[in-house]
Homo-oligomer: A and B are copies of this chain.
Amino acid sequence: MKKDSPKRSVAARVTLVEVGLRDGFQMEKKPVPTALKIELVSALVDAGLRRIQAASFVHPQKVPQMADAEELFRRLPKISGVRYSALVLNPQGLARALAAGVKELEISVSASDAHSRRNAGMGAEKALGKGLAMIREAKSARVVVRGGIQCAFGCASEGRIAQERILAMAEAFLAEGVDLLALCDTAGMAGPVQVRRMLDRVMPAAGSIPLAVHLHDTRGLGLVNAAAALDSGVTHFDTAAGGMGGCPFVAGAAGNIATEDTAVLMAKMGVETGIDIAKVAGVTERLEAFFGKRFPARNRKELICQPICKP
């Protein structure tokens, strides 16, 4: 693929990156024991997942669910072809992740000034500078780096973020040599037209570097946006078993796009994922039993096994 190719074609095969253990669990009050996390990872690998974001290295008091990140990475099963990543948001987290020997990191910066101030304690411009320095450090430690742009499709406080700002951030990440670039719809605000337009700008800049989208189903458009991203040549999709995640301010709000539903979408679009949908639905059932609640994924085990519906 040439650097200035105008548009990528739809991939024949895409990668679903399971982020439930990180983006899903961080929303849950009930502590998940490390041993259960490891069991779930094994079940997800058995279901065909090959990329798993297992934790974030953040302050354990801020996100107690991630306090076992070091121990978890020590104990994760080593399986050929399976790669684990962690999210880091600041230099302290990066230092911990590197010390823990994590081989693949997402270094993520918000495009929204308001969101960045609230989450990272500094404006977006300053956070970008710090993020780029972190990427340099991680790359020099020979870690695979994914650069993430939070609020790439808007922010609940700021509304729409200028496309130029996202493109500039993407170019800065690419100049540092990120191995993958992720556009994150942190607040679930994207629409399919916006996704297509954004990717029409970012794709040519990315050249041969693969693009990921991290989509939330907050307003019900998660899979619509995933289909639009696929049509624009995106190859990596963050998903969470059951559609875990959500929003702390809205009871019952939808979270990440569900792994099983995204796999169904891809299958219906003729795109391979390598995912066993029924097995993912089994993981979701187990998570629901553990947390004592229902997650929003549509493709339940009973639907897959007994498709006779709506006479």
Q: Compute how far the CA of A228 lies from the CA of B231 in the bound complex, rounded to whole angstroms.
A: 12
A30 interface residue per 8 A CB criterion? no
Is A261 positioned at the interface, with any CB of B under 8 Å from its CB? Answer: yes
Q: Judge if A100 is at the interface, Cβ distance under 8 Å.
A: no
Give, as a whole number of angstroms, the nearest-CB distance from A127 to chain B.
Answer: 14
Binary B-proximity of A284-300 (CB < 8 A = 1, otherwise 0): 00000000001011111
For chain A, residues 229 to 283, give those with C-beta under 8 angstroms from any C-beta of chain B: 246-254, 258, 261, 264-265, 267-270
Chain A 163-186 per-residue mask, 1 if CB under 8 angstroms from chain B, else 0: 000000000000000000000001
Q: Does A310 contact B (CB under 8 A)?
A: yes
Residue from B192, B300, B308 in contact with A227 in the complex, judged by beta carbons closer than 8 Å: B192
Question: Are A156 and B309 closer than 8 Å at their CB atoms?
Answer: yes
> A11–B204 Cα gap in the complex (Å)?
30
Q: Is the CB of B250 within 8 A of A192?
A: no
Contacts of A156 in B (CB 8 A): 307-309
Given that A308-B157, A311-B115 are known contacts, is A254 also in contact with B298, CB under 8 Å in the complex?
yes
Is there contact, CB below 8 Å, between B268 and A306? Answer: no
Q: Is the CB of B303 within 8 A of A221?
A: no
Indicate whether A193 reaches chain B with its CB closer than 8 angstroms. yes
Give bound CA distance, A254 to B297, whole Å.
10
State whether A250 touches B188 (Cβ < 8 A): no
Instruction: Judge whether B300 and A252 touch: CB under 8 Å.
Output: yes
Chain B residues near A227 (CB, 8 Å)?
192, 224, 227-228
Interface size counted on chain A using CB atoms at 8 A: 54
| Given contact pairs A220-B258, A220-B299, A310 touches B248 in the complex (Cβ within 8 A) | yes
- Chain B residues with CB under 8 Å of A303's CB are 218-219, 247, 250, 253
Task: List the B residue with the shortest CB-CB distance to A296.
Answer: B296
User: Which residue of chain B has the shortest Cβ distance to A110 in the bound complex?
Assistant: B311
| Least CB separation from A115: chain B residue | B311
Which of B191, B247, B268 is A268 in contact with, Cβ under 8 Å? B191
Give complex CA distance A269, B221 in Å.
Answer: 11
With known contacts A223-B224, A307-B156, A217–B250 Cβ distance under 8 A: no
With a cutoff of 8 Å between Cβ atoms, the chain B residues found around residue A296 in the complex are 296
Give A191 to B294 CA distance when docked, in angstroms: 25
B193, A309: Cβ atoms under 8 Å? Answer: no
Contacts of A247 in B (CB 8 A): 303, 309-310
- Taken together as a complex, chains A and B put the C-alpha atoms of A306 and B270 apart, in Å, by 38
Task: Supply 16 further A-B pairs (C-beta < 8 A) apart from A221-B265, A250-B309.
Answer: A157-B308, A187-B307, A187-B310, A188-B309, A191-B268, A193-B269, A193-B270, A194-B268, A218-B310, A219-B261, A220-B297, A221-B223, A221-B264, A224-B265, A250-B302, A254-B298
